[in-house]
Structure 1
Amino acid sequence: MDDEACYRAVSSRDARLDGVFYTAVRTTGIYCRPSCPALTPKRQNVTFYPTAAAAQSAGFRACRRCRPDASPGSPEWNVRADLVGRAMRLIADGVVDREGVAGLAARLGYSERHLGRELTAELGAGPLALARSQRAHTARILLQTTELTASEIAFAAGFSSIRQFNETVREVYGQTPTELRERRNRRAPAASAAVPLRLAHREPYEAGPIFDFLELRAVPGVEEVVRRADGRRTYRRALALPTGPGVVEVDEPAAPKGWLDCRLELTELRDLTTAVQRTRALFDLDADPDAVARVLGADEGLGALVRRRPGLRSPGHVDPHELAVRAVLGQQVSVAAARTLAARLAVRYGKPLAAPSGGLTTLFPSAAALADADPADLAMPAARQRALRGLCAALADGTVTLDPGVDREQAAAELLALPGIGPWTVGYIRMRALADPDVFLPTDIGVRHGLAACGAPPEAAERWRPWRSYAVHHLWANNAPAPRSI
């Protein structure tokens, strides 16, 4: 978008562009999201930035009214397969906090200097500034929702010192940590074991279908869907995080409100950023439904389905290795059968939680644990047993990489080179484990039935780029047989 288009969006307070760009006002020193309800500034007084970090690096602080740092992430990162898109996905997953810029550059296969140059040229901020912006957001959440001390919050958010924490919070928010804490929600419990969050997204958002999708595939002991007294559902699951296990629960909203209510129980609060990002990926909260609808809704065959469900999402996953294993378990069997087998493997090879949390008792088994699984525990044909164990061995030794910053084409080639891993399995893994928005599954029985029901030929899928993953979910939802994989 050019500056004039950005200003028109600000003038109309277009919430669809929250997170796509940020508006900085030179006369006030504040930056806002496009939908900020404040008086629209004069055109000559504003500058536009692609990221909150770029605005902060330029000396602007976050608006206290619209909280631009809490807006949905840019949907561009999931679409882009280039260096910048891959880097942003890794930064969001907390790689810079855990491994530093050197670790980020090593994962991407570039030098630190080249990576910094590319990010600064494209986003107006380098990897440290982008990670710093993310830390500040995490710190604000903890200050306003927990009773942790400031020093605990500083290190949980990823800061290396109390001084760095204090300086960053003052610079980004124009307030001290103590002043931010005074603005917290007084209605929240004073001493809750869970961190309450609001996970923002762009409307429209079809929450019902995504909860249906997850409920159908919930592996007992690892996941559960609880029905509440008001009829709504809460999705809960155990998380394997970098420094310890955690539990996430997300509520189905009663009505559209622009966010999902979430609670996180963590062994180590430093995993908060990673847990949030993985939950957002699971519920596809950074998607741009308007961009999807413009392409798919214009298609003669698919348009009616899109208008029926304008905010349908493409669920991701919290653990790429787990999803890859479950894709193989689901080959040529029903979802119920695959879920039953996954539950048995979880009991046999998963790591038990220190204490059960409702119906959650264990983490899904690691790839390394399943690589050496006893064939007697794998109730499947010998060929699929070999495929599963070969996949797990490749994931465990790094032959196949499925982290958020991986090159999707390279990962697909590595998977296809494994025995028993075919195009359908690779496509499903790309769609969910790698959050690829442009995957089509032409051989899937549900897709074929969906195409027939809406009168669209298979070749029509070429017109649906780059949103074919969303087209697949529309076809699955169109009274088609449920997809077979979990």
Structure 2
Amino acid sequence: MTVEDSRYEAVSSRDARFDGVFFFAVATTGIYCRPSCPAITPKRRNVSFYRTAAAAQGAGFRACRRCRPDAVPGSAEWNARADVVGRAMRLIGDGIVDREGVAGLADRLGYSARQVQRQLNAELGAGPIALARAQRGHTARVLLQTTTLQAAEIAFAAGFASVRQFNDTMREIYAATPTELRSARPGRTSRFGPVAHENGAAAGVPLRLAHRGPYASVEVFDYLGSRAITGIEEIVGERGSRTYRRTLRLPGGPGVAEVGEQPGAGGWLECRLHLADLRDLTTATQRMRRLFDLDADPCAVAERLGADPALAPLVAARPGLRAPGTADPHELAVRAVLGQQVSVAAGRRRGDALVAAYGEPVPEPRGGLTHLFPQADHLAEAELGELGMPDARRATLRTLTVALAEGAVTLDPGADRDETERHLLALPGIGPWTAGYIRMRGLGDPDVLLAADVAVQAGMRRAGTSTADAEGWRPWSSYAMHHFWNTP
């Protein structure tokens, strides 16, 4: 069976596990879909396959209005891959092309713009501009269908250079004008209130953050709640129906994100974003997706880890367990140092003290959210005496923040993970645990095992396994580690 035969089989069975992994287009209708599209399965001879929505759009196909292929989870492949294509996809998702252009993307990757263009086209069938354009189209559709903003406001908020470009792109991608897309918006409501608001975006932009397969939301919310820093994060509500809220430092200004816990809910987490600048919508969305690990492939993880007799019961007990990332890699790195050789609770108290002393107050506090996490350049010059840390630990924190502020250590989504880990380990006071933790959560690496972690060792003993079996867990070692942390 060829790769395309396997893909057609997934389309025939409407297998949602492959949503976002590939797209299929139908020559007779001129539309492209996600594999789980509920429409009648087209004949094989009329079907072609694409790695990205942008490639399907570039081939002249428009998005299916029924299955909304632009709203699928991202492919877990881009998180797992450490090559230039994987790094580029993570950076494009974060909005780098919109903010810095193709030249900025290439500079961050350490390649020429021509090399980046060639590699993306060769593997994905679309270059960085086409990929960013597809992303802008999705952002614009979300704003059209969730706010009452004027079309011109939406055009610039989504990153288009002109209203004409916006109109032409929306007609090309969706075969509909912005007005038609707005009138066709679903009439649903969310746990955060109605989708459309009379005051436009003032009440925030409601989103459904899609994921594939089961999602262990209770464990994820427990994990984030036990580490929530006062003023920056909070979890409200009862277990099973909680809302996680946090402040965000975004390119256009501060923001607040709210994500609802939905045990057993299929396919998405409810989210609302309050943004100072709507042009930050794509960036904020991607950062929340990374924090909640929504582009993971739980089926692939379960297949690999479940093959280990010691891990199989843990995988069965917690289907869809995720490895949370971060909304801000610099913040995560600082918090990793605060948590060195102390309990989670002690690390959290140090974080509370850090924010109270050096956090930046937000213009409009929301509930318990009052501050943005302090920036690295601010901490690099701070005394840090309020933290109650040993002198050596304060020196490590200062060394790290200087390296982050000066760019000696890069933690953006497209950073080379091996190179970044080497640079971290070269800093005095940064050991394998801290560098590995930053690599796992700050850089989203799904294949990290903190073998020296006391809780991981205890979990492995309870499960009846050891690091001798670790090779069999790759490339999903980070998920194995979370299973050990959750082992009763």
Q: Normalising TM by the smaller chain, what interval?
A: over 0.9
Matched, 1:210 2:229: no
Q: Could you tell me how far 1:255 is from its partner in structure 2? A: 2.5
Match of 1:172, SS state, is helix
Kept in 1: contact 2:218–2:263 (CA 8 A)? no
Match of 2:247, SS state, is strand
Matched, 1:129 2:127: no
Match for residue 77 of structure 2? Answer: 76
Q: Could you tell me how far 1:252 is from its partner in structure 2? A: 0.4
Match for residue 401 of structure 1? Answer: 410
Q: What are structure 1's unaligned runs of at least 5 residues?
A: 480-486
Determine the C-alpha separation between the residues in 2 that align with 1:447 and 1:265: 37
Determine the C-alpha separation between the residues in 2 that align with 1:162 and 1:375: 49
Taking the TM superposition and a 5 Å limit, the aligned residue runs for 1:281-300 are 281-300=290-309
Taking the TM superposition and a 5 Å limit, the aligned residue runs for 1:174-189 are 174-186=175-187, 188=194, 189=196
Determine the C-alpha separation between the residues in 2 that align with 1:98 and 1:377: 37
Kept in 2: contact 1:351–1:363 (CA 8 A)? yes
Q: Could you tell me how far 1:375 is from its partner in structure 2? A: 3.8
Determine the C-alpha separation between the residues in 1 that align with 2:38 and 2:343: 50
CA displacement 1:449-474 (0-9 Å, x = unmatched): 01100110221111111000000000
Determine the C-alpha separation between the residues in 1 that align with 2:94 and 2:29: 32
Shifted more, 304-313 versus 55-64: the winner is: 304-313
Which of 362, 368, 372 is the aligned partner of 2:381? Answer: 372
Taking the TM superposition and a 5 Å limit, the aligned residue runs for 1:44-443 are 44-186=45-187, 188=194, 189-191=196-198, 192-227=202-237, 232-443=241-452
Determine the C-alpha separation between the residues in 2 that align with 1:103 and 1:190: 36
Q: Could you tell me how far 1:302 is from its partner in structure 2? A: 1.0
CA displacement 1:249-279 (0-9 Å, x = unmatched): 0000142211000000000000000000000
Determine the C-alpha separation between the residues in 2 that align with 1:337 and 1:415: 23
Q: Could you tell me how far 1:24 is from its partner in structure 2? A: 0.3
Match for residue 467 of structure 2? Answer: 458
What letter is aligned with 2:231? Answer: G
Q: How many residues align?
A: 478
Q: What are structure 2's unaligned runs of at least 5 residues?
A: 189-193
Q: TM-score, normalised by structure 2?
A: 0.97
Q: Could you tell me how far 1:231 is from its partner in structure 2? A: 5.4
Match for residue 484 of structure 1? Answer: none
Determine the C-alpha separation between the residues in 2 that align with 1:298 and 1:71: 28
Runs of 4 or more off by more than 3 Å in structure 1? none
Determine the C-alpha separation between the residues in 1 that align with 2:334 and 2:197: 40
CA displacement 1:172-230 (0-9 Å, x = unmatched): 001000000001234534235210000000111111000000000000100000015x9
Taking the TM superposition and a 5 Å limit, the aligned residue runs for 1:465-484 are 465-479=474-488
CA displacement 1:127-181 (0-9 Å, x = unmatched): 0000000000000000000011001000100111111100000000010000000
What letter is aligned with 1:29? Answer: G
Match for residue 191 of structure 2? Answer: none
CA displacement 1:220-244 (0-9 Å, x = unmatched): 100000015x951000000000110
Determine the C-alpha separation between the residues in 2 that align with 1:96 and 1:336: 39
Q: Could you tell me how far 1:344 is from its partner in structure 2? A: 1.5
Determine the C-alpha separation between the residues in 2 that align with 1:287 and 1:71: 12
Q: TM-score, normalised by structure 1?
A: 0.97
Determine the C-alpha separation between the residues in 2 that align with 1:442 and 1:18: 34
What letter is aligned with 1:14? Answer: D
Determine the C-alpha separation between the residues in 2 that align with 1:56 and 1:186: 27
Q: Could you tell me how far 1:434 is from its partner in structure 2? A: 0.4
Identical-residue share of aligned pairs (%) = 65
Shifted more, 343-352 versus 448-457: the winner is: 343-352
Determine the C-alpha separation between the residues in 1 that align with 2:321 and 2:84: 28
Match for residue 483 of structure 1? Answer: none
Query: What is the RMSD of the two structures over their aligned residues, measured on CA atoms?
Result: 1.0
